[in-house]
Amino acid sequence: MSKYIAINFATNVLLFNVYNNWYPGYMNWSLGEPLITNSNYLNTNKSIMVFIENNYTAQGNRQPEINATISLYVDRIKEFFEIRPIKINNLLTLSENITNSVSELVVKNNLNNSQVFGWSFDSDYTNISSSQTITLNSSENILVYIASNYSNPDIYKTIATVNSSTYNDTENGVIIA
C-alpha cells in the first residue's frame, strides 16, 4: 500500500507500508525519487510504516518506485503524481451554437507565493490572448470567460494555455459550432 499526499506545491509526503509475510529477517526497502534505501529486521507478519517528506520543485510528472526485498523475493509499487505550480483546473464549453460559444477557463496558483501569468485560447479559428498579466496569490483560483464567434459551422479543437515566467500548463477541448 502506498499513498501520496500533496501538502502544497513544494512539500509532498509519500507513505507506504513494508510488510514481511516470509520468514523473520532483514527487509530491504528503497524509494526511487528521492533516492532512499534502508533495511529493517522484521518478524513474520510484522510491518513498518514509512513516511517520506520531499520537496519536488521541478514541474512535471513524477513516478517514484518503491521496492521491498527479503531473501530472493521482491515487491514493487509505482506511485504517480503531477507537479503543476500553475494549473488549468477546468476548460469547459458553457454554451455553443452555430455562430458563437462561451468557454470557461479555471486557473489555480499552487505555489506558496504570488504568480504573474498570461493566458491564451486557440480554437483553430481564432487565437485570443490576455491583453495584460494577471497576479494570483497563493492557492487562489481565477475564472476566465471567453466568447468566440464563428462564421462557419464546424468542429473546432481548442487549446488553452497559461504561462508564467517559469511554469505553464495546457488543456485541450472541442467546440461544436
pLDDT tens digits for 21-75? Answer: 989 999 999 999 889 999 999 999 999 999 999 887 778 888 889 999 998 899 9
Asked which of 59, 83, 107 is the last residue of a domain, the reply is: 83
In a shared domain, residues 28 and 62: yes
In the chain, the number of structural domains is: 2
112-128: per-residue pLDDT in tens? 788 999 999 998 888 99
How far is 166 from 169, CA to CA, in rounded Å?
A: 11
CA angle 86, 12, 8 (to 5 degrees): 40
How many of the other CB atoms lie within 10 Å of CB of 30?
A: 15
pTM: 0.70
C-alpha cell at 58: 521541478
**Structural domain of 11:** 2-83
Q: What is the CATH number of the domain that holds 35?
A: 2.60.40.10
Q: What is the largest CA-CA distance in the chain?
A: 74
Residues 44, 33 share a domain: yes
